[in-house]
Structure 1
């Protein structure tokens, strides 16, 4: 062992940057995901053409949600934040023939693009897009869901999480995206509505006996962030 604590092998935990993360994503995606099919390509291109912001999940993140839904044999999925429907397509493809996905989107423009993309993917019969503030739509929805995915305005994360906990069955899963935000959430000197919304949710969950949760940090072509993974007890 050298004086710096290394074992003489190349350093495996050296700091990296966006170029390395993107290269790593490409390498793994080529082997484990392959070339995106026509519906996913259409979803991305149609969203860009329609002027939607480039804030959808990465391929690897979306594939993770897809595999998770399949693992749990999910029949009902709740999504808060539709955007152009990219993650919606991945999740809906995991459903059985009689499965259902309800997705909430505040923007009528985004919702219309998502409907176009879902129809192109042949999934419009499985997916219901509800337009309006999710904070108003969620209380009107009845349980129970197997999986909930929250990826909307972070200011209301706590309210979304509480509603998702009400709606998800015991043993179901709640995933919340963007809970690391380049490490800003853990930086007490950094304050904005986004990070404060995530912090309120995490502080609430700290004392919540109805869930067991952890954060899974992620790096890739979407930068340094992470999911919160919660099991409904």
Structure 2
């Protein structure tokens, strides 16, 4: 465990530092929000930014805003005049995310929607270059099925927490619907011949899916 922490410290010491807005958002989230560990954090945030900059998407959909950290990271890679739509169920988090989206000067690029993603996604008349899934693990399969036809050919879907603390190795705990949701999602992606896929052992697991 100590070696893992040392490696993480080494990595963080050799990548670009968090920008001040993200550092402040990280700090306020940990001070004020229950479940602050759900925030993407520096390393994963840098990876999301890098992937977004590689793709240069015109349209991004994020399912699960939380306090806005990952939305800001992803929006940094948007093409000129690009838009990111982010969906969050918890309306109590809206103002905090909005505060930091404005501090990052991305309010013209990021559209916040509040409500159940399973109801909002079908109403979106958009096609997306990139989708980031990081919400209710029980609904990952449903999110994927709803967004698939809205993703452009050659577009990407990124799903977070797909190793789920290692629980995917022992998924048979009765009543553990979160783990069951992740396992079902992973099996779906494994067997979906319409896509290419890879799981990165980054933090809690991050699956990158490319639509053929």
Structure-1-length-normalised TM-score:
0.84
Task: Identify the residue that residue 62 of structure 1 maps to in structure 2.
Answer: 45
Task: Identify the residue that residue 179 of structure 2 maps to in structure 1.
Answer: 195
The answer as to whether partners of 1:52 and 1:84 remain within 8 angstroms in 2 is: no
State which of 5, 15, 19 in structure 2 corresponds to 1:37.
Answer: 19
1:204 maps to 2:188: yes
State which of 55, 62, 71 in structure 2 corresponds to 1:72.
Answer: 55
State which of 190, 202, 205 in structure 2 corresponds to 1:218.
Answer: 202
How far did residue 114 of structure 1 move? 0.5
State which of 88, 105, 108 in structure 2 corresponds to 1:105.
Answer: 88
1:138 maps to 2:121: yes
Post-superposition Cα deviations, 1:10-49, rounded to whole Å, max 9, x if no partner, equal: xxxxxxx1x4333222211221122x22211221133234
Task: Identify the residue that residue 22 of structure 1 maps to in structure 2.
Answer: 5
The answer as to whether partners of 1:46 and 1:117 remain within 8 angstroms in 2 is: no
4+ residue stretches of structure 1 with deviation over 4 A?
none
Structure-2-length-normalised TM-score:
0.92
Q: Which has the higher helix share?
A: 2
How far did residue 175 of structure 1 move? 0.6
- Runs of 5+ consecutive residues of structure 2 not aligned to the other structure: none
How far did residue 52 of structure 1 move? 4.1
How far did residue 127 of structure 1 move? 0.1
Task: Identify the residue that residue 46 of structure 1 maps to in structure 2.
Answer: 28
Matches within 5 A, 1:111-130: 111-130=94-113
Aligned length: 210
Distance 1:25 1:181 in 2: 19
The answer as to whether partners of 2:71 and 2:86 remain within 8 angstroms in 1 is: yes
Distance 1:140 1:22 in 2: 43
